[in-house]
Chain A
């Protein structure tokens, strides 16, 4: 059974419909890429899964249980962690405190402060500095570390590479591969297609709030992806 099963998901911001009948499944331990242009609904999709948006109960199932529409903090209890777009580090908290607040719900698991510092030595060096003093790449590491501290079963990462230099993005994807290798189920939303296709087992392309293409990266050609991304 898949860890995450989304069925006919429609999502609205007030009167505006942002997602149209999205269906997809993510198996446990898989890394899935969600790609698409700006405004295609990728972040909305993550928000719907994480409990940020109200959606029908049956539309999102986690390990078989219907969890659609449960509020974000409850989804954390159930093991869903969202690393939000733009990092959103807490300015009033130090690096260490940012990580600790990620463990607010005290879910047990292998991700402790020590392990996160091992994964990201740069964060350990800066542990007492205000979280927002870090560079963009370091803040992204902090955001990912913060998500890991909750020992989630499902890690959702929104636009990890946004605004970061290619060298940094490459490092982050190496880290992501390490996390995935330990068995973490991950959904990565990206505008930059090339990097994410290397780590993903499945890719879904969104366009105008609907899934325009699905498949394994090896099976999909550049041309097909471009067509699904931009519209033929």
Chain B
């Protein structure tokens, strides 16, 4: 039974990882950029919630309402002011710029909030659990996280599949040059995509902060897990990202069960195994005419 519980916890963790991974996957699909500061932005959001909790006594989940739009705006600005200027210059500049941003954000958080670990307390919501019978229980909040992840994925899928902007995003991801011939302004589109990406990762960051402690240096691990979830699931598949997140989550919880220090390492090893055996991930779709 303990193993079933472990797997269950891993699946729920997968929901959180999917939230982290979705924004990363979206950006890469549309712009072929990996935002190396992706994880750090989520931690920035978590600290934003901390600031609101400390200063105004807000419930962290209420802080979502302020932090998520702020992060979306930050993403929009990041793309318009910084990353759009690097378009067409190859892959090196965005990697280096986002890496530089990652280091800047981490050190700025260190200066502003010290090296202390923090946690967001939603007033009891995080400890409530739902009994499933047979001695199994799932935390309410973990379940909510998974449901939110699914909702976000459904919403994103609908947006990309059914709306005019979503169509433009797909066309631009396929063939940016020809998309321009349709009147699609890639710069505005990319800014929108980055805004969505950071908005989602802000939710992920705050949910993470409720679930566990975090500090200024927690960002890079989030990026790695998000990356691994995307790779395991396969590029270009939103639902694959959820599956990838769940597989990663289960690997981590299983490894941690075997030996406490082995949790994250097991996740990495599973990721490397998938990379060796199925380099395109489990659900990859053949994408662009590269």
Contacts and interface: CB of A to CB of B under 8 A. Distances in A.
A adjacent to B, CB under 8 Å: yes
Given A90-B178, A93-B174, A73 B167 contact: no
A76 B171 contact: no
A73 B177 contact: no
Given A73-B183, A77-B183, A100 B167 contact: yes
Most B C-beta atoms less than 10 A away, residue of A51, A84, A88: A88
Interface string A89-131: 0111100010011101100000000000000000000000000
A92 B173 contact: yes
Q: Give the dominant DSSP class at B's interface.
A: helix
B31 interface: no
A42 interface: no
B163 to A, nearest CB: 11
B170 interface: yes
Given A90-B170, A97-B167, A104 B178 contact: no
Contact of A84 (B178, B288, B289): B178
A91 B286 CA distance: 10
B168 interface: yes
A35 interface: no
Nearest to A88: B178
Contact of B181 (A76, A77, A97): A76
Interface in A35-85: 50-52, 71-73, 76-77, 81-82, 84
Contact of A104 (B184, B287, B288, B289): B184
Interface string B203-240: 00000000000000000000000000000000000000
A210 B139 CA distance: 73
Interface in B159-192: 164, 167-168, 170-171, 173-175, 177-186
Interface residues of A, number: 24
A101 B171 contact: yes
A209 interface: no
Contact of A73 (B164, B174, B180): B180
Contacts of A84: 177-178, 181
Contacts of A90: 170-171, 174-175, 178-179
Nearest to B286: A91
Given A88-B175, A104-B164, A72 B170 contact: no
Interface residues of B, number: 21
A141 B139 CA distance: 56
B171 A105 contact: no
Contacts of A146: 182
Given A91-B289, A93-B167, A97-B167, A104 B174 contact: no
A51 B168 CA distance: 19
Contact of A82 (B167, B175, B181): B181
A76 B167 contact: no
Contacts of A77: 183
A81 B171 contact: no
A88 B288 CA distance: 11
A90 B168 CA distance: 10
B170 A92 contact: yes
Contacts of B185: 73
A99 to B, nearest CB: 10
A150 interface: yes
A202 B182 CA distance: 27
Contacts of B184: 73, 101, 104
B181 A50 contact: yes
Most B C-beta atoms less than 10 A away, residue of A84, A93, A101, A150: A101
Contacts of B171: 90, 92-93, 101
Contacts of B180: 51-52, 71-73
Contacts of A73: 180, 182-186
Given A100-B167, A101-B168, A104-B164, A91 B174 contact: yes
Contacts of B167: 93, 97, 100-101, 104
Contacts of A150: 182-183
8 contacts: A73-B180, A73-B182, A90-B179, A92-B171, A92-B174, A101-B171, A101-B179, A104-B167
For the complex of A and B, the 10 pairs showing the least CB-CB separation, nearest first, are: A76-B183, A105-B183, A72-B180, A88-B178, A90-B174, A92-B170, A73-B185, A90-B171, A73-B183, A104-B182
Given A81-B181, A104-B184, 7 more contacts: A50-B181, A76-B183, A90-B175, A90-B179, A93-B171, A104-B167, A104-B182
